[in-house]
Amino acid sequence: MTDSDLDRRLAALKEATADALPPPSADRAVEAAIAGAKRAPPPAARRRGERWLVWPLALAASIAVLSFVVRSLPPEAVVAPEKRPTATRSGGDEFMPIVPIADIEQTRDALVVPARLPRMTLAQLGLPINPARAADAIDTELLVRRDGSVLAVRFVY
């Protein structure tokens, strides 16, 4: 059997299973689990409660620095949301909202600011971050208002 023969058979198997989905019983089980799960405070919130002073200070410091950077930008640095450079950066994820979508929609002067932030700051913003790596920094792009408030964040891998 040649490589191409094997490739052909593997492609046939891939095609035969391309539309395979779990049975309705699995769908119902997951739906039941969702319905049965209770809203609970996240572990991150409980951890924050234990170190209530450290996290707000870190967040406040980050926002203060960010606000200073944003206010010091020249007007031409302002880009319209639809022209944000998300499509031109490779290896990243989509922007994740930090505030309600309605607030973002009402913003007309959003900026995209690249920033390298400690993960604990992102955790403070409510993003899923591994607590074991909280001290590590990560490259991000922040969507911010002119007043320095963060609207959304995107990871740059």
Residues lying near other proteins in the complex (CB under 8 A) are found at 1-3, 5-6, 9-10, 12-14, 16-23, 25-27, 29-31, 33-34, 37-45, 81-82, 93-97, 101, 104-105, 107, 119, 122, 126-131, 133, 138, 152, 155, 157
Residue 134 backbone zone (phi > 0: left; psi -120 to 50: alpha; other: beta): alpha
If the CB atoms of residues 55 and 95 are measured against other proteins, the closer one turns out to be 95
Q: Are 112 and 79 in contact (CB under 8 A)?
A: yes
How many residues make up the chain in this entry?
157
| Nearer residue to other proteins within complex by CB, 6 or 54 | 6
- The residue among 67 and 86 lying less far from other proteins, judged by its C-beta, is 86
Q: State the burial class of residue 64 (Cβ atoms within 10 Å of its Cβ: 0-12, 13-18, 19+).
A: exposed
Q: For residue 60, which of 130, 141, 149 has the smallest C-alpha distance?
A: 149
Cβ of residue 97: shortest distance to other proteins, in angstroms?
A: 5
Q: Which is nearer to other proteins, 56 or 68 (CB)?
A: 56
- Pick between residue 70 and residue 138 the one whose CB is nearest to other proteins: 138
Contacts 24+ apart (CB under 8 A), 60-63: 62/117, 62/118, 62/121, 63/148, 63/149, 63/150
- DSSP code of residue 90: -
The CB-of-61 to other proteins minimum distance in angstroms stands at 20
CB of 40 to other proteins, least distance (A): 4
Least distance (Å) from other proteins to the CB of residue 156? 10
- DSSP bridge partners of 152: 97, 143
Q: Rounded to the nearest whole angstrom, what is the least distance from the CB of residue 87 to other proteins in the complex?
A: 11
